[in-house]
Amino acid sequence: MSQQTKGINIVSALKDTVIAGLLSLIIFGPVVGVLLDGYDFTFQGADVAFIVSIVMAGRFAISIFSQTEFGEAFLYRQATKDDGVVVTAPGYKSRMRFIIPIMIVVGLLVPFIASKYVLTVVILGLIYVLLGLGLNIVVGLAGLLDLGFVGFYAIGAYGLALGYENLGLGFWSMLPLAAIMAAVAGAILGFPVLRMHGDYLAIVTLGFGEIIRLVLTNWTSFTHGPNGISAPLPTLFGLEFKRRSREGTPFHEFFGLPYDSAYKYIFIYLILLLVVLAVLYIKHRLTRMPIGRAWEALREDEIACRSLGLNHVLVKLSAFMLGASTGGLAGVFFATYQGFVNPSSFTFFESALILAIVVLGGMGSTIGVVIAAFVLTVLPEMLREFADYRVLMFGILMVVMMVWKPRGLVRVTRTGFATRKGSAK
Amino acid sequence: MSQENILEVKNLVMHFGGIKALNDVTFDIKRGSVSALIGPNGAGKTTVFNCLTGFYKATGGSIMLHAGGKSTSVVKVLGQKFSAADFTSPVRLIERIKYKMFGGSHLVNRAGLARTFQNIRLFKEMSVVENLLVAQHMLANRSMVSGILNTASFKKAEEEALQRAFYWLEVVHLTEFSNRLAGELSYGQQRRLEIARAMCTNPEIICLDEPAAGLNPSETEALASMIRVLRDNHNTTVLLIEHDMGMVMNISDYIVVLDHGEVIAKGGPDDIKTNPKVIAAYLGAEEGEEVSL
Ligand SMILES: Nc1ncnc2c1ncn2[C@@H]1O[C@H](COP(=O)(O)OP(=O)(O)OP(=O)(O)O)[C@@H](O)[C@H]1O
Ligand SMILES: [Mg+2]
């Protein structure tokens, strides 16, 4: 950095602006400017000019800002910030611990204070928390890039719907069964592939997710294809949550209450909350167990793991299966919450969304994943007016995160151990 | 186990496509000895280690490891191709399929052979203690249920693992760094941690690939005495690759010299020091020329 040109260099800022303008012209010109009209098209020059001028103004502002003293200091801080893993002191207790009971109490109160609409949004958020936690085991802890996680989600959802239709199995029997089915699917998929290196796994899982979706779409005799299939609601000791029940009394009649469709959401919400809390606890324990440490070690260095007697295929497989079964659980909740499933819920975009939750939350961080899951699912619901710009906002959020916190929202901490005397046995 | 040799390598051959990294390497390692594998750069020393530890599947030859009360064929546990004879004996066939599906270098470690790497391979974003805990995976209580419920027996097993980890930290003088990330340690400390980690798997023989590379003289001195401790106090056989001749001659009972994938000499330090072939290989001199090592 030379001393005398400390001032603002307008020319270089203008150069940046023109380049950005040309690039945005290339991108937005055909996308926004050309409006198809039958076999014809009209050219919408004004829209393109508007968008391009916004981009140019933004680029100019950024160029100028990064040349000011404040901007330079900001960039320097971004470039040199230490955002790595830290080890806590032995016996360290987080000051934020009191948050946990508060969150549980708030969680239990939500269905009784929130409106039905808010409740359904929160349920969706929790389903994504479950998905995020499942994928976090696979991607965050074990370091296996899984691009077809939605496949396991679909197995859970269709497991409930098809199990009910063909075998008469209800929510409660399908909940564990779906988890097992997804885990078995994970094992069958994983065993041959997990011997290979990372990139192959990403491609194979990507294919797996698409295959599941295509099977669901095209095997119409079994899955009813794109028309979808209805899924049952959970029951409370045999009491149903419908207005009228074919066998037995429904829930509201049993308790002498007027019918209200909110009851079923409250019930689903409470079960889901319990399952999420259980999964959170299990995940917390796993990172302090030999298997969880083995996953992380495998992410760090597979060859070293093998030299220490760890069977890398089986260790990876256990992470893959556990993640898959969590995805299966989420699928069951999704199906029962919607009352209906069809293949369009299980596209690649869904897999990408779950992966974004894990990456935004911070690889391997549990709290980060919970926050990210809510941000990425609840926020779009709240901002319905901007629904068209959802993917755009998504992209902006990703870029901002990459600059601001490249390792995710919450930085990963490792538990320290108190020094012991040490003895060899 | 009464067998005198812990490791027997016979006619080991390793080819990478057209490159003949090892041609017919044969040597034995005595139980309880400190042995060294030396040779000029590119002689094939690391390749021998990779074959011994199962990271490379040897093109030919046999490697027998006599540890843990049994004899293990390293080539076999990696999973071999089916041969016609397998189909006549169901027992052999099942064994072959088992090793094909679940075999691999981890079985070599479980059979009692641990190693370190020339380019250090620690779990850099995990703490020093955790590195040692991962190494004890096979000794730990791996039951999912007792781990999740955090039962008394699980806590006891974890405490034992921690005790063992801190014991080894003490041996390699890293106790005060126990809660640091492994990647933050200095080079010499990382090398020592890697040795401690290998020792946590309770091996009978440990293979060290250039443990003194990048260490200063006093650190090298400390390393040499540590290697003696491993042998004398833990009954561990040590096989090391090293370029530091002072250290090799000082601590080894037995030396194997490799050049261009062939064993050119083996014997005690005094024999090796005066062996004209070795001197020639190291200094690139013509055989018979007078050079001192
Ligand atoms: N995976 C591989 N693929 C192809 N060639 C290899 C491979 N590994 C080793 N080689 C070749 O085998 C030869 C021996 O290499 P090796 O690493 O065993 O040498 P070394 O004795 O350990 O040398 P150094 O003292 O430098 O560590 C070299 O020519 C190397 O290029
Ligand atoms: Mg080498």
> Mind listing the pLDDT tens digit for each residue in A166-200?
888 888 888 899 999 999 999 999 888 887 776 78
Residue type, A328: G
Contact residues on chain B for A183, CB-CB shorter than 8 A: none
> In the block, which residue shows the tokens 């066998």?
A247
Please tell me the distance from the alpha carbon of residue A369 to that of residue A56, in angstroms, as a whole number. Answer: 35
Report, as an integer, the average pLDDT of A331-356: 89
Q: Is the pLDDT of residue B140 over 70?
A: yes
Please tell me the distance from the alpha carbon of residue B249 to that of residue B253, in angstroms, as a whole number. Answer: 8
Structure ipTM: 0.89
How many C-beta atoms lie closer than 10 Å to residue A322's C-beta? 25
Q: Do B144 and A291 touch (CB under 8 A)?
A: yes
Same domain, B94 and B169: no
Q: Is the pLDDT of residue A243 over 70?
A: no
Residue B177 belongs to a domain: yes
Same domain, A16 and A118: no
Residue A413 belongs to a domain: no
Report, as an integer, the average pLDDT of A291-300: 91
Same domain, B285 and B174: no
Please tell me the distance from the alpha carbon of residue A53 to that of residue A59, in angstroms, as a whole number. Answer: 10
Mutation probe of ligand 1 site: the residue of B14, B46, B55, B262 with most atoms within 8 A of C-beta: B46
Same domain, B179 and B277: no
Report, as an integer, the average pLDDT of A396-419: 76
Residue A95 belongs to a domain: no
pTM assigned to the model: 0.84
User: Higher confidence at residue A385 or residue B276?
Assistant: B276
Q: Show Cβ contacts of residue B135 under 8 Å, excluding neighbours closer than 6 positions.
A: A308, B197, B198, B200, B201
Confidence band for A238, pLDDT divided at 50, 70 and 90: low
How many distinct structural domains can be found in chain A? 2
Same domain, B220 and B263: yes
Same domain, B195 and B211: no
Same domain, B98 and B131: no
Q: Show Cβ contacts of residue A241 under 8 Å, excluding neighbours closer than 6 positions.
A: A233, A234, A235, A250, A251, A263, A264, A267
Same domain, B181 and B286: no
How many C-beta atoms lie closer than 10 Å to residue A244's C-beta? 9
> In the block, which residue shows the tokens 């710009």?
A389
pLDDT in tens, A247-285: 666 666 666 666 677 778 888 898 999 999 999 999 989
Q: Is the pLDDT of residue A244 over 80?
A: no
- Option in B107, B140, B179 nearest A87 (CB): B179
Angle, helices B187-199/B217-234, rounded to nearest 10 degrees: 10
How many C-beta atoms lie closer than 10 Å to residue B247's C-beta? 21
Please tell me the distance from the alpha carbon of residue B14 to that of residue B41, in angstroms, as a whole number. Answer: 17
Same domain, A288 and A401: yes
- Candidates A303, A325, A412, A420: best to mutate against B (most CBs of B within 10 A) is A420
Give the containing element (helix H, strand E) for A336.
Answer: helix A312-338
Pairing of strands B237-241, B34-38: parallel
Q: How far is CA A11 from the centre of its chain?
A: 43
- Extract the tokens encoding A269: 């919400």
Distances (CA, A) of B81 to A322, B72, B77, B106: 32, 18, 12, 19
- Candidates B108, B115, B134: best to mutate against A (most CBs of A within 10 A) is B134
Which of residues B163, B184, B202 is at a domain's end?
B202
Same domain, B192 and B127: yes
Residue B227 CB less than 6 A away from ligand 1: no
Residue B117 belongs to a domain: no
Residue A50 belongs to a domain: yes
Residue A390 belongs to a domain: yes
Report, as an integer, the average pLDDT of A13-40: 84
Task: Say which DSSP state A308 is in.
Answer: T
Please tell me the distance from the alpha carbon of residue A282 to that of residue B237, in angstroms, as a whole number. Answer: 41
Q: What is the pLDDT of residue B2?
A: 52
Which of residues B173, B202, B231 is at a domain's end?
B202
Q: What is the pLDDT of residue A196?
A: 75
- Extract the tokens encoding B179: 């809660």
Q: How far is CA B238 from the centre of its chain?
A: 8
What sign for the dihedral angle of Cα A222, A228, A232, A234?
positive
Q: How many Cα atoms are found within 13 Å in the side-chain-facing hemisphere of A179? A: 17
Domain of A27, in residue numbers: 10-80
Q: Show Cβ contacts of residue A285 under 8 Å, excluding neighbours closer than 6 positions.
A: A292, B147, B148, B150
CATH number of the domain within which B254 lies: 3.40.50.300
Same domain, B130 and B183: yes
Same domain, A173 and A26: no
Please, which residues bridge with residue B63 across strands? B9
Length reported for chain A: 425
Q: What is the pLDDT of residue A4?
A: 45
Same domain, A192 and A65: no
User: Higher confidence at residue A52 or residue B95?
Assistant: A52
Q: Is the pLDDT of residue B1 over 50?
A: no
Please tell me the distance from the alpha carbon of residue A1 to that of residue B194, in angstroms, as a whole number. Answer: 42
Distances (CA, A) of B215 to B115, B131, B219: 19, 21, 6
Residue B42 CB less than 6 A away from ligand 1: yes
Residue type, A197: H
Please tell me the distance from the alpha carbon of residue A82 to that of residue A96, in angstroms, as a whole number. Answer: 22
Least confident of A94-98, A156-160, B186-190: A94-98
Structural contact between residues A230 and A342, judged by C-beta atoms closer than 8 angstroms: no
Q: Is the pLDDT of residue A100 over 90?
A: no
- Candidates A88, A299, A307, A365: best to mutate against B (most CBs of B within 10 A) is A307
Same domain, A14 and A154: no
> In the block, which residue shows the tokens 């596209």?
A347
Same domain, B106 and B214: yes
Q: Is the pLDDT of residue B72 over 60?
A: yes
Residue A124 belongs to a domain: yes
pLDDT in tens, B152-202: 889 998 899 999 999 999 999 999 998 889 988 999 999 999 999 999 999
Size of interface A-B (CB pairs under 8 A): 149
Report, as an integer, the average pLDDT of A382-388: 73
Residue A224 belongs to a domain: yes
User: Higher confidence at residue B20 or residue A96?
Assistant: B20
A246 touches chain B (CB under 8 A): no
Report, as an integer, the average pLDDT of B132-161: 88
Which of A395, A396, A422, A356 shows the shortest CA–CA distance to A140?
A356
Residue nearest ligand 1's atom 6 by CA: B16
CA of B273 to the centre of ligand 1 (A): 25
Same domain, A354 and A224: yes
Please tell me the distance from the alpha carbon of residue A304 to that of residue B193, in angstroms, as a whole number. Answer: 13
Same domain, A189 and A139: yes
CA of B45 to the centre of ligand 2 (A): 6
Confidence band for A46, pLDDT divided at 50, 70 and 90: confident
> In the block, which residue shows the tokens 């933004």?
A58
Average pLDDT over chain A reads 83
What sign for the dihedral angle of Cα B146, B148, B149, B155?
positive
Please tell me the distance from the alpha carbon of residue A136 to that of residue A141, in angstroms, as a whole number. Answer: 6
Q: Is the pLDDT of residue A117 over 70?
A: yes
Residue B41 CB less than 6 A away from ligand 1: yes
Q: Show Cβ contacts of residue A197 under 8 Å, excluding neighbours closer than 6 positions.
A: none
Same domain, A130 and A31: no
Task: Say which DSSP state A343 is in.
Answer: G
Domain of B162, in residue numbers: 122-202
Least confident of A87-101, A114-128, A240-254, A308-322: A240-254
Length reported for chain B: 293
Please tell me the distance from the alpha carbon of residue A127 to that of residue A331, in angstroms, as a whole number. Answer: 8
How many distinct structural domains can be found in chain B? 2
User: Higher confidence at residue B246 or residue A38?
Assistant: B246
Residue B47 CB less than 6 A away from ligand 1: yes
Please tell me the distance from the alpha carbon of residue A244 to that of residue A266, in angstroms, as a whole number. Answer: 18
DSSP three-state, residue B33: coil
Which of A322, A330, A332 shows the shortest CA–CA distance to A174?
A332
Same domain, A224 and A302: yes
CA of B243 to the centre of ligand 1 (A): 15
Same domain, B214 and B69: yes
Q: Is the pLDDT of residue B60 over 70?
A: yes
Confidence band for A29, pLDDT divided at 50, 70 and 90: confident
> Could you tell me where the beta strands, DSSP code E, fall in A228-313?
229-230
Same domain, A327 and A297: yes
Q: What is the pLDDT of residue B9?
A: 92
Please tell me the distance from the alpha carbon of residue A300 to that of residue B127, in angstroms, as a whole number. Answer: 12
Residue nearest ligand 1's atom 14 by CA: B44
Which of residues B156, B183, B202 is at a domain's end?
B202
Task: Say which DSSP state A219 is in.
Answer: -
User: Higher confidence at residue A32 or residue B211?
Assistant: B211
Q: What is the pLDDT of residue A2?
A: 43
Residue B267 belongs to a domain: yes
Q: Do B133 and A419 touch (CB under 8 A)?
A: no
- Extract the tokens encoding A231: 């899924």
Least confident of A93-102, A302-311, B281-290: B281-290
Average pLDDT over chain B reads 87
Same domain, A46 and A168: no
> In the block, which residue shows the tokens 């981009």?
A55
Q: What is the pLDDT of residue A35?
A: 77
Same domain, B192 and B249: no
Residue A418 belongs to a domain: no
CATH number of the domain within which A110 lies: 1.10.3470
Pairing of strands B205-209, B113-115: parallel
Q: What is the pLDDT of residue B78?
A: 80
Same domain, A277 and A384: yes
